[in-house]
Structure 1
Amino acid sequence: MNEATGATSPEAAVVSGSDLVDLVAQQLQALLSAGNYDAVKMLLQPVQPVDIAEAIGILPRTLQALAFRLLSKDEAIEVYEYLEPAVQQSLLERLRSGEVLELVEEMSPDDRVRLFDELPAKVVRRLLAELSPAERRVTAQLLGYEPETAGRLMTTEFIDLKEFHSAAQALTIVRRRAPDTETIYSLYVTDGERHLTGILSLRDLVTAEPEARIGDVMTRDVVNVRTDTDQEEVARAIQRYDFLAVPVVDREQRLVGIVTVDDVIDVIEQEATRDLYAAGAVQAGDEDDYFQSNLLVVARRRVVWLAVLVVANGFTSQVIAMNDDVLKHVVLLAAFIPLLIGTGGNVGAQSSTVVIRGLSTQRIQALGRMKAVLREAMAGGILGLLMLIVVVPFAWWRGESLLVGAAVGISLMAITTLAATAGAALPLLFDRMGLDPALMSAPFITTATDVAGVFIYLRTAAWLLEQTNGIAF
């Protein structure tokens, strides 16, 4: 749908989403290759900027700059902000110097800063020097904040009003400044020293009497974040209060910017990607270009954690070697080692996943950390009991010995309880230590329970043998 007119493109009438993008990309490549540039402009005219950006990203690099140059100036700026960082950098290399400067100059400050974060320092310094004084000052200000904080994420394009303005005067200000503002749905009220004193929505302003003072219709209790607030906290604030934007203040409570919901969605995706990588024991990198990275970079990101896990799994082999006398006496005990450590790993992974997600959404605080660990420990015991009903008779029958069945049953209960407890406790411990709880993820929990599970199993079997004087009854 066209944002301005509400019109729907012919392609969008029959396809949507990725299918539409693929169709546009195919037609775009064919028309560009044929040199039919007028048809390209007609093709792209009804398509949404985000879809155009994705379609351009699919094109061969030799055609990306050509397609981009055929966009109108305003549309090109909007499309550029949606492009992947790798495509943005590629276009900067292929566009002429004047085109690049005009493009970067017209970008919103927060999008410009994200672009600069991806560019080499030498290129950033050159582009900064060529920006207009006003844009250079704003960009330098945002770059001065710590990465992944509200200050680095915010935009300075917002509308602020004064308490003495009438509703009619405020509407005039909104109309005048709207073209240069990222959002007009949330309006902020400041005093003479730019201190944040209130907030009102566009709806409240439109429905207010024309002569009403802004100070009388605004809300004085304003939820805000500081420039040094972590971006995850900003995302949670917007999610909690269903905001379209949240104001950002400095240490003196002066309004310096706003973080909009579209930027928060990007943060949520970025943090979720990092947690998923950590859960798979993959070293965090630039998530956006992971699938464009060469194989050596991919291998380097994975080999570190794999090496740690290999060393840790070496303890499992050591435990088995230390208890070889038990295995020599009852060889069939070895057949159930994979079953026990696999079950323990799965239970531990389930518990760690639940707790890590609870920490991420902050829902675990309502239950309490200790109660959460006890709850998972009890769940592990119940799971062990339920599986024991099936596994022990099978182990007894398969091992042709009550000792094997008893060793498997006792160990299964102990391992599932221990795995669930460790899976819940270790992420909480990491979080308390100020580390990312996602690091204590499924591969690490599985490795830890492997070592502990084998030790518990073989020592249980050895104890049962001692109690029966070495007779595998």
Structure 2
Amino acid sequence: MSDNITINKQDSRHELRELLNSQLRLMLDANNLEGAKSLLLPVQPVDIAEAIGDLPETQKLIAFRLLNKTEAIDVYEHLDYNSQQSLIQEFKRQEVLDIVDKMSPDDRAKLFDELPAAVVSRILEQLSPEERQATNLLLGYGEDTAGRMMTPEYIALKENLTVGQTLEKIRSEARASELIYYMYVTDASRHLLGIVSLRDLVVSSPDDTLDKVLTKEIVYVNTDMDQEEVARLIQRYDFLAVPVVDKELRLVGIVTVDDVIDIIEKEATEDIYALGAVQSDGDNSYFKTNLFVVARRRVVWLLVLLLTNTVTGGIIGAQEDILARVTVLAAFIPLLIGTGGNIGTQSSTVVIRGLSTDKVNDYGPKKIIFREAIAGLILGLILGLLATVWAYFLPQTNQDLMVCITVGFSLVAIAVLASVAGSALPFLFRSLGLDPALMSAPFITTAVDVLGVLIYFSIARVLLPF
């Protein structure tokens, strides 16, 4: 068995991860530490982090200590928070200083958000004064804001510098900055005056001063701006980074595109979980969460739906007279409320996604709801016609045309109801300050089940002779 893994174009990311993890486990089980160390040498830090994260708890620390100091810092930043927490509990004091002290301030702040307060206090005491100050600055801002996610590691310049002097300054400070493609020009009070790109410096004369090169039309964010808005802004303008200013418009940090990618993935994951009425666990993997915790989080909405089904059952039970005369009506109840639930979920999904991306703001709630109602009517007419024809040829109906028409009309009405509910409820919950994704799914199911059954039997009482 080879001790090295070479990444080539034919290896998929999943195959590489599985191969690396399996070989790493075998070597650690055999106590072949030198072989495990050589196995990790040609691998990227993010892939090493995934492999270590998949190891049993007893092997994580052993594998991590095989890395050299520089590589260990990069790998630690890519580990999931569960692995970071378990490792930091085992670190000795010097290991904390070697790794956590060298992390970028924004990554360190994210880690501290997940650690117990007592552990954070202990680590802060061990950090260097400069890193402690930088970390406390970020932790002082609200969660999920630009101030909390920014990094104070950037290159600030004065406008009287020449291009040649600026390039020298970049060379001396590049290793201490997270990004060197943009530089920020400030006055003596750190007020943001403009931005200079590395491209602008390269194509300019070395004797030009920065006031002739800088761009004064600045796009910036405030420290209290929500991280989702920051992500959308960077995505909109295709920035690599955006400057962050305080209330006095003083430059305090930058948000880089790699942080934005993490935010977009995190928010999308939260929305997807919420659409299924499942609470997400922040940055921790759902599949690594304790099963009892998973059950506790999911049972709440399931109990709500259980109560809803009880109400629906009560409504059906109250229709004994009509069901006793036309028993075949009961056979179509699952079809009607199931179809309505699917249509409502489709409408709510597109509206919730539109709310998340601000795509619906140009239209307004009324236009969106009306549009979805028309879509529901079209879907209802198509499905209703098919259901009518299909029901006519079922043995249960005995080719009773009025029963078939009742099913078709009910499907049209329920489709419109589901589309309106699915598109209106996210707007309602957002106006109430609630999460539309988390709240909409159970309530759509409730509305479609209860009102759908009522509509069905109401139409049946009108159309069917008794």
Give the shorter-chain TM-score range: over 0.9
Secondary structure of 1:10's match? Answer: coil
Contact 1:153 1:259 in 2 (8 A): yes
Tell me the residue number matched to 2:349.
353
Q: TM-score, normalised by structure 2?
A: 0.95
Deviation at 1:237, TM superposition (A): 0.6
> Does 1:442 pair with 2:438?
no
Contact 1:285 1:301 in 2 (8 A): no
Alignment partners' CA distance in 1, 2:86 and 2:23: 22
Change (3 A) 1:451 1:133: same
Tell me the residue number matched to 2:158.
162
User: One-letter code of the match for 2:162?
Assistant: S
Q: Deviations over 1:417-467 (max 9, x none)?
A: 1111111111122223332221243343123111111000001111224xx
> Does 1:183 pair with 2:179?
yes
Tell me the residue number matched to 1:305.
301
Alignment partners' CA distance in 1, 2:295 and 2:387: 39
Alignment partners' CA distance in 2, 1:13 and 1:417: 50
Deviation at 1:13, TM superposition (A): 5.4
Alignment partners' CA distance in 2, 1:336 and 1:141: 62
Q: Deviations over 1:71-128 (max 9, x none)?
A: 1111111110001111111111222221122211111101111111111111111111
Tell me the residue number matched to 1:254.
250
Q: Deviations over 1:37-76 (max 9, x none)?
A: 3333332222111111111112222222122112111111
Secondary structure of 2:61's match? Answer: helix
Tell me the residue number matched to 1:430.
429
Alignment partners' CA distance in 1, 2:9 and 2:208: 46
Tell me the residue number matched to 2:312.
316
Tell me the residue number matched to 1:33.
29
Percent identity over paired residues: 57
Alignment partners' CA distance in 1, 2:326 and 2:335: 17
Residues matched between the structures, number = 460
Alignment partners' CA distance in 2, 1:68 and 1:61: 11
Deviation at 1:294, TM superposition (A): 2.1
Deviation at 1:287, TM superposition (A): 4.9
Change (3 A) 1:210 1:87: same
Tell me the residue number matched to 2:213.
217
User: One-letter code of the match for 2:349?
Assistant: T
Q: Deviations over 1:1-22 (max 9, x none)?
A: xxxxxxx972435524121122
Aligned partner (choices 43, 62, 67) of residue 63 of structure 2: 67
Tell me the residue number matched to 1:172.
168
Deviation at 1:204, TM superposition (A): 1.2
Secondary structure of 2:361's match? Answer: helix
Tell me the residue number matched to 2:278.
282
User: One-letter code of the match for 1:402?
Assistant: L
User: One-letter code of the match for 2:68?
Assistant: S
Alignment partners' CA distance in 1, 2:250 and 2:114: 29
> Does 1:272 pair with 2:268?
yes
User: One-letter code of the match for 2:441?
Assistant: A
Secondary structure of 2:216's match? Answer: coil
User: One-letter code of the match for 1:172?
Assistant: E
Tell me the residue number matched to 1:3.
none
Alignment partners' CA distance in 2, 1:252 and 1:222: 15
Q: 139-148 or 363-372: which moved more? A: 363-372
Contact 1:345 1:447 in 2 (8 A): no
Secondary structure of 1:187's match? Answer: strand
Alignment partners' CA distance in 1, 2:88 and 2:352: 40
Tell me the residue number matched to 2:418.
419
Could you tell me which runs of 5 or more consecutive residues in structure 2 were left unpaired when the two chains were aligned. Answer: none
Contact 1:280 1:441 in 2 (8 A): no
Tell me the residue number matched to 2:135.
139
- Residues 235-254 of structure 1 correspond to what in structure 2 (within 5 A)? 235-254=231-250
Tell me the residue number matched to 2:322.
326
User: One-letter code of the match for 1:395?
Assistant: A
User: One-letter code of the match for 1:102?
Assistant: D
Alignment partners' CA distance in 1, 2:109 and 2:213: 35
> Does 1:402 pair with 2:401?
yes
Secondary structure of 1:197's match? Answer: strand
Contact 1:274 1:287 in 2 (8 A): no
Contact 2:277 2:439 in 1 (8 A): no
Contact 1:155 1:259 in 2 (8 A): yes
Deviation at 1:153, TM superposition (A): 0.7
Secondary structure of 2:255's match? Answer: strand
How well do the aligned residues superpose, as a CA RMSD in angstroms? 1.7
Alignment partners' CA distance in 1, 2:51 and 2:323: 61
Q: 126-135 or 15-24: which moved more? A: 15-24
Q: Deviations over 1:335-373 (max 9, x none)?
A: 111111111111111111111111111112233321111
Change (3 A) 1:281 1:169: same
User: One-letter code of the match for 1:436?
Assistant: D
Alignment partners' CA distance in 2, 1:215 and 1:338: 71
> Does 1:87 pair with 2:83?
yes
Alignment partners' CA distance in 2, 1:287 and 1:299: 19
Deviation at 1:135, TM superposition (A): 1.0
Aligned partner (choices 132, 145, 149) of residue 149 of structure 1: 145
Q: 299-308 or 288-297: which moved more? A: 288-297
Deviation at 1:254, TM superposition (A): 0.6
Secondary structure of 2:106's match? Answer: helix
Contact 2:373 2:420 in 1 (8 A): yes
Aligned partner (choices 63, 72, 93) of residue 76 of structure 1: 72
Secondary structure of 1:200's match? Answer: strand
